Amino acid sequence: MATKKSASDRSSVSALRSGKAPGRPAGSGGATAWENIKAIVVTVAIFLVIRTFLIEAYRIPSGSMIPTLLVGDWLFVNKLAYGPHVPFTDINLPGYDEPERGDVVVFVSPNQIDQPDDPTPTLVKRLVAVAGDTIWMRGGLFHVNGMPQKQSFEAAQNPVGDGGFSHPLFQWQKEYEVRGTRAGDPPASPTLDDWGPLVVPSGFLFMLGDNRYDSKDGRYWGFVPRQNVRGRPVFVYYSYRADESDRPLPFLTDIRWGRIGTIIR
C-alpha cells in the first residue's frame, strides 16, 4: 500500500536528483575554506610569537666556540631569559634574568666595518666581562679585575696561534685604555695575546670566543651594547659534521648523535 511522502522525504529526493547532499547548506564550501584559512593564520601567528619572544633555533657556522659549540650544531635559544626583542624596533621587553660572566650569549654584533655586506651579524660568544669590569690579557691569559680567568681544560686544548698578531681593528681599544693598574700600562700596539687594561663602560658587555686563536670577537669589534643581546643557548637539538665530513648529504649521513641533547654551559 503506497504511503504519502513527507515534505522532508521529497526534499531529500530532490536534492539527490540535483547532485547536492541532503541537508548540506548552500555555500558551506566557502565557509569551510574560511575556517581552514583561519586555522593556518592562527598557527602561523603562534609560531611567530614563539619564535620572536620565547625560543628560536640557531645554527653554528664557525669554529670560534670550539669545543663548547661545533660547526654544524643547531641550538635552541631561550629568548625570554634576557628579555625578548621586538622586531623592527629598538625595544627590548623585560626578561627574568641578566647576562652574567661565563654565560654563552647570542647577540647582534656591533658594526663591523670590514664586512660591509653583513656588518651586524647575529653571533654567539662567551660573555667574559660586564659593565664596570677592568679587563686585560697578558701572554694569552685573560684577567678580570685583577683575577686570571683560566679556560676549561677542553678549551685550553685548542690550537695556539700567533699571539703577537696585531690588526688595525684593534685600535678601538685606545679610547678605553687605563693606566696605573696592576697590569701595567697598555701595550703600544694591542695584539691577540696582549692588550688592555680596558674598562667596560656602563650598558655594555665584552665577549670572547672559547677558541681564542680562531675567533673574531670583542678584541676586533669592541663592546656589545646590552640591548643587542638576543638570548641564551639552551641545548643542542641537532648536530652533524658540516665542515669535516667526506660523506654525501652529511646532514643525513654524518650526524653527531652524541651531541644531541647537550646542555650549553
Whether residue 175 is contained in a domain is answered as yes
* Cis peptide bond upstream of 148, omega within 30: no
Q: How many domains, in total, are found in the chain?
A: 1
Residue 30 forms part of a structural domain: no
Give a yes or no: residue 143 inside a domain.
Answer: yes
Q: Which stretches in the chain have pLDDT values below 70?
A: 1-29, 38, 42-54
Take residue 158 and report the three cell numbers written for it.
685548542
- pLDDT for 84: 84
Q: Does 131 map to a domain?
A: yes
- Residue 56: the pLDDT is 85
State the pTM of this model. 0.80
| 24 within a domain of the structure (yes/no) | no
Look at residue 141 in the predicted model and tell me its pLDDT. 97
- Model pLDDT, residue 27: 55
Give the pLDDT score at 156.
Answer: 93
pLDDT attached to residue 34: 77
* Any domain includes 212: yes
Q: What is the pLDDT of residue 95?
A: 86
Q: Is residue 62 part of a domain?
A: yes
* Residue 103 confidence (pLDDT): 97
Range of the domain at 195: 58-234
Q: Looking at residue 55, what is its pLDDT?
A: 72
Q: For residue 202, what is the domain's CATH number?
A: 2.10.109.10
Phi-psi map region of 177: left, alpha, beta (phi>0 left; psi -120 to 50 alpha): beta
Asked whether residue 240 is domain-assigned, the answer is no
